[in-house]
Amino acid sequence: MDGRVESLPESKLGTKEHWDQVYEFGEDSVERMIRYLVDMLQEKSDEEAKYILDVGTGNGHLLFALMDAQLDEAENMTPDIIFPARLCGIDYSAASIELSKAIGSKRGHGCEQILFLECDLRNMPEMDELAARPSHGKGWDIVCDKGTIALSSQLVHGKLPVDLYVEAVHRLTRKDGGIFFITSCNFTQEELATKFQPAGFLIEHVVPTPSFTFVCLCLFHTHTQTFPLIHEQGGQQGSTVTTVAFRRG
């Protein structure tokens, strides 16, 4: 292995099995992300409220779960740490954005104030405009992702989508301390670090995730790269999900 990280092959992304796995890990992953975010925000509760961006927001579930956590903490007399007017979810699906807005309106309790925007991470002028939305004009304090990094493998203007993704996240995340928080079921901690560290991101925290046992690492090949397929059996331990918080320098 030479450490290079490539996008997933289109054939895998087009299978029902792949998306079954994505949705199975999604709920637990969101819960882990919420716990970490709430703990971090509580530690910084004496600072200015954070601007939080959710990329590939889908139906807005992560942001709505954050609002639910805020309501739960309110019962313990904890001061507000999450402000809906400083939350934003983006997706390149117009239907996703309309659904998120509808859910927010129905939920109420501040959820209707969350901003949802149709945006394409591959469009850098759009990313620059989005990065300028926080009132301090320095980018988003926290950028979250639950798997958008693996959505496509088709080249865009001669670049791999994963490389455009890293560039977009770099533009969106606040310099000198902004947090990029990602959960992936396709890339390992080492692979993510290989991609994001050259862009100025250092690992801040690795959230423990469930493990499974496997007997061997089988390989299948495409015209560009060899990809691992994990098979279960007793013997060794491997993680099905990677959740990492990076801090931008």
Lowest mean pLDDT among 7-16, 59-68, 87-96, 212-221: 212-221
Within a domain: residue 44?
no
| Each residue's pLDDT tens digit, 109-120 | 899 999 999 999
What's the domain count of the chain? 1
Q: What is the mean pLDDT of residues 79-87?
A: 87
Q: Higher confidence at residue 46 or residue 155?
A: 46
Within a domain: residue 2?
no
Within a domain: residue 105?
yes
Within a domain: residue 229?
no
Domain that holds residue 94: 18-38+49-220+239-248
Q: What is the distance between the alpha carbons of residues 220 and 216, in angstroms, rounded to a whole number? A: 13
Within a domain: residue 193?
yes
Here the tokens at position 208 are 């423990």
Q: What is the distance between the alpha carbons of residues 206 and 184, in angstroms, rounded to a whole number? A: 12
* Cα 102 off chain centre by: 22
What average pLDDT does the chain have? 81
CATH number at residue 122: 3.40.50.150
pLDDT exceeds cutoff 80 at 54:
yes
pLDDT band at 81 (very low <50, low <70, confident <90, very high): confident
| Each residue's pLDDT tens digit, 136-180 | 999 999 999 988 876 556 666 778 888 999 999 999 999 999 999
Global pTM reads 0.79
Within a domain: residue 30?
yes
Name residue 173's beta-bridge partners: 140
- Contact by Cβ (8 Å): 55, 148: yes
**Per-residue model confidence (pLDDT) at position 162:** 87
Within a domain: residue 69?
yes
pLDDT band at 218 (very low <50, low <70, confident <90, very high): very low
**Hunting for tokens 């919420």 — which residue is that?**
34
Transcribe the chain into DSSP letters: ------PPPHHHHTSHHHHHHHHHHHHHHHHHHHHHHHHHHHHTTTSPPPPEEEET-TTTHHHHHHHHHHHHHHTTTPPP---GGGEEEEES-HHHHHHHHHHHHHH-TTGGGSEEEE--TT-HHHHHHHHT-STTSS-BSEEEESSGGGS--S-BTTB-HHHHHHHHHHHHBPTTT-EEEEEESSS-HHHHHHHHGGGTEEEEEEE---EEEEEEEEEEE-SS-EEEEEEEEEEEEEES-EEEEEEE-
Within a domain: residue 142?
yes
